[in-house]
Amino acid sequence: MTKSKLLFHELVNKVALSDRAEAEAIVYFLLEARFEITRQDVWNDFELEVDRTLIESDIQRINEHEPVQYVTGVAWFCGHRFQVNASVLIPRPETEQLVDEVKQHVPHNSKVLDVGTGSGCIAISLALAMPDAQVFALDVSANALKVAQQNGSDLNAAITWLQADFLHDGLLLKNFDCIVSNPPYIRELEKSSMEPNVLRFEPHLALFVSDANPLIFYQALAEKGKSILKNEGKILAEINAQLSAEVKSLFEKEGYQSVQLIKDMEGKNRFVSATWLH
């Protein structure tokens, strides 16, 4: 058995990062994922049965810049524990605000479609927070849907899962109150400013769009939303802050009403809300 405080300090010293605070955050995450102990538990000096081979492998992978979420297969989102792997994007804390926006602006007995569901974190969090809602979740990737379905099962969330290419498939979906989406929106030209661990390990299908047509997913949301949404239905989507004015203009040109940009906690235009009137 190993004392948790001793293990914590040992692992922090093995993480090859000059930023000690970041190394500590990674180790706290690792210990919670592997042993289900909180930061407070670490300092209460729990006794742990440690699989040294596994932990050493974890540290090696972390030192090769693999995100700790993929190393452990775990990510937290809206207070829930999700399984993740390299087929899905790691849920970001800022995307939790998108879930909050839906909860605030859409009736809780709504019919909701999550486009590009990935791990299922948005759809599942909404289904758990709004048990009277009908939640549908769509993704082009069969591997991503497998992860999402497992998360839905683990968290007892009632979701209708759909595999489809939202850009190109004809979708027989009608009478939805809300479409929510965190689509790919990072331009290829922005790769040079991104963290290497994101570029190396996270699925590019879920991250990037071409420089020539960076609003391709918002154009599809706007066009297909007209037939998918009922009167006064809403689109709520995460956006590239650098292209926020262009996204707003796109929805306005497509005839949407009450098009608004919503700022994140850092004051960046991070989300768009648009209402469709028949």
- Domain assignment of residue 76, yes or no: no
Residue whose entry in the numeric block shows the structure tokens 């102990």: 37
8 and 93 fall within a common domain: no
CB 103 within 8 A of CB 126: yes
Other Cβ atoms within 10 Å of 51 Cβ, number: 11
Report the distance separating Cα 261 and Cα 264, nearest Å: 10
Q: What is the mean pLDDT of each run of 10 residues along the chain (278 residues)?
A: 91 93 96 93 89 95 95 97 96 96 95 97 98 97 97 98 92 95 78 72 71 87 97 97 96 98 96 96
Q: Are residues 248 and 121 in the same domain?
A: yes
Neighbours of 185 (CB within 10 A): 23
> Burial of 9 by CB count in 10 Å (0-12 exposed, 13-18 middle, 19+ buried)?
middle
Bridge partners (DSSP) listed for residue 236: 180, 273
Q: Which two tokens stand for residue 78?
A: 């809206």
Alpha carbon distance 66, 196 (integer Å): 9
Residue 79 lies in a domain: no
Q: How many domains does the chain have?
A: 2
Are residues 96 and 233 both part of a single domain?
yes
**Is residue 88 a contact partner of residue 206, using CB atoms and an 8 Å limit?**
yes
Q: How far is the C-alpha of 86 from the C-alpha of 119, rounded, in Å?
A: 10
Reported as type and span, the H/E element at residue 255 is none
Q: What is the pLDDT of residue 194?
A: 66
Strand partners for 74:
83
> Which amino acid appears at position 160 of this protein?
T
Sign of CA dihedral 43, 45, 49, 53: positive
One domain for residues 110 and 216 = yes
Mark whether 103 and 227 lie in a shared domain: yes
Residue 193: predicted pLDDT: 73
Cβ neighbour number for residue 156 with a 10 Å cutoff: 9
Half-sphere exposure of residue 165, counting CA atoms within 13 Å on the CB side? 5
Given this model, what pLDDT does residue 252 score?
98
The C-alpha angle with vertex 157 and arms to 155 and 161, in degrees rounded to 5, equals 120
pTM of the model: 0.93
In terms of domains, do 42 and 102 share one?
Answer: no
Q: Pick the closest to residue 110 from 176, 156, 21 (CA basis).
A: 176
Is 40 in the same domain as 90? no
3-state secondary structure of 239: coil
| Residue 268 and residue 229 share a domain | yes
Q: Is 58 exposed, middle or buried (0-12, 13-18, 19+ CB in 10 A)?
A: buried
Task: Give the model's pLDDT for residue 184.
Answer: 79
Domain coverage including residue 253: 86-276
Question: What is the crossing angle of helices 96-105 and 121-129, to 10°?
Answer: 40
72 within domain boundaries: no
60 and 90 share a domain? no
Query: How far is it, in rounded angstroms, from Cα 103 to Cα 175?
Result: 18
Q: Any idea what the CATH number is for the domain that residue 226 is in?
A: 3.40.50.150
Same domain, 110 and 24: no
Residue 48 covered by a domain: yes
Place of tokens 């939805």: 176
59 in the same domain as 107: no
